[in-house]
A and B are shown apart, each in its own frame.
Chain A
Amino acid sequence: DAGITQSPRHKVTETGTPVTLRCHQTENHRYMYWYRQDPGHGLRLIHYSYGVKDTDKGEVSDGYSVSRSKTEDFLLTLESATSSQTSVYFCAIGTSGDYEQYFGPGTRLTVT
């Protein structure tokens, strides 16, 4: 998986609790992305980062925040988890000026 790890790999949490997912890369790639994957919707971009402390919203950013304090780490936080955020979350990395993205193994999140 191109030097990308995600943690945790599985998580079950209750509605209203905060959740943080971590993406860690060893490739020194500038760009990092968070997607969610749901049946019938493909992969939808939540947030992305184009450098340390530089982030921007994707198409489904409501209810999510991100932070990137180091090149290698990109955190996705659900401030108050809802059942609609039950999904599989993927992190991806990419280089500037190149469309190719490398995906991590995913985190399966269940909000009860």
Chain B
Amino acid sequence: QLHLQESGPGLVKPSETLSLTCTVSGDSITTSDYYWGWIRQPPGKGLEWIGSIYYSGNTYYNPSLMSRVTMSVDTSKSQFSLKLSSVTAADTAMYYCGRLSFRSNGPGGQCDYWGQGTVVTVSS
């Protein structure tokens, strides 16, 4: 059974960098069948795709966040990570990692497994 677990600081100061890690267990992160993604949900609002990464390191980012987002993958640890720089209060959200079906020409398809999420608050 696939399991994804987000981890990272729950509180980040404005203008600093948010860093989160997703640990994958129950399946190989190097499978060619999937992308791995980050999705967030501000309090009381809907879901927003942040970006997707393939085990090779190929990435796609949401254009609205692209200038501040960096994703990476560590296959030896079965982890992928998110860095979001210059955060503001608008970045306060629940952050989810997920598994996305592979597509040869895009950032993955349906998200068929979700982590439980981790809350990140941006505040001084």
Q: Do A and B come from one complex?
A: no
